[in-house]
Amino acid sequence: MGLDPGLRRLALGTLLAAYPGPVPPDWAVDLVADGLAGHTLFGTNVHDPSQVAASTAALRVGRADVLIAIDEEGGDVTRLAHATGSPYPGNAALGAIGDVALTRRVYQAIGAELAALGITVNLAPTVDVNTADDNPVIGTRSFGADPVRVAAHSAAAVTGLQAAGVAACAKHFPGHGATVTDSHHELPTVDVPLALLRQRDLPPFAAVVAAGARAVMTAHIRVPALTGTGPATFSRAVLVDLLRTEYGFTGTVITDALEMKGAAVAAGGVGPAAVRALAAGADLLCIGAKVDAELVERVAAEIVDALTDGRLATSRVEEAAGRAAALATWTRIAGESPATPETNLGYAAARRAVQVDGILTGLGRPLVVQLHTESTIAEGRVPWGLGPHLDGVQEIRVIAAETDKATLRELAGDRPIVLVGRHLHRLPGGPDLIAGLAAEHPVTVVEMGWPAQWRPTGVRAFVTTYGASHANGRAAAEALGLAG
Residue 414 bears catalytic tag: no
Cβ burial, residue 310 (10 Å; 0-12/13-18/19+) = exposed
How many CB atoms are closer than 10 A to CB 350? 32
Q: Taking the alpha carbons of 171, 175, 181, 185 in that order, is the dihedral positive or negative? A: negative
Any idea what the Cα angle at residue 195 is, between residues 227 and 244, rounded to 5°? 55
Q: Kind of pairing, strands 417-421 and 367-371?
A: parallel
d(CA 71, CA 125): 9
Cβ burial, residue 130 (10 Å; 0-12/13-18/19+) = buried
Alpha helices in 127-256 (DSSP H): 147-163, 194-200, 203-210, 224-227, 236
Residue 89 phi, psi dihedral angles, 5° rounding:
-70, 155
Q: Kind of pairing, strands 417-421 and 395-398?
A: unpaired
d(CA 149, CA 168): 19
d(CA 440, CA 405): 10
221-258: buried (b, 16+ CB within 10 Å) or exposed (e) per residue? bbbeebbeebbbbbbebbbbebbbeebebebbbbbbbb
Candidate list 76, 128, 201, 256, residue with the active-site label:
256
Cβ burial, residue 34 (10 Å; 0-12/13-18/19+) = middle
Which residues does the annotation mark as catalytic?
A: 256
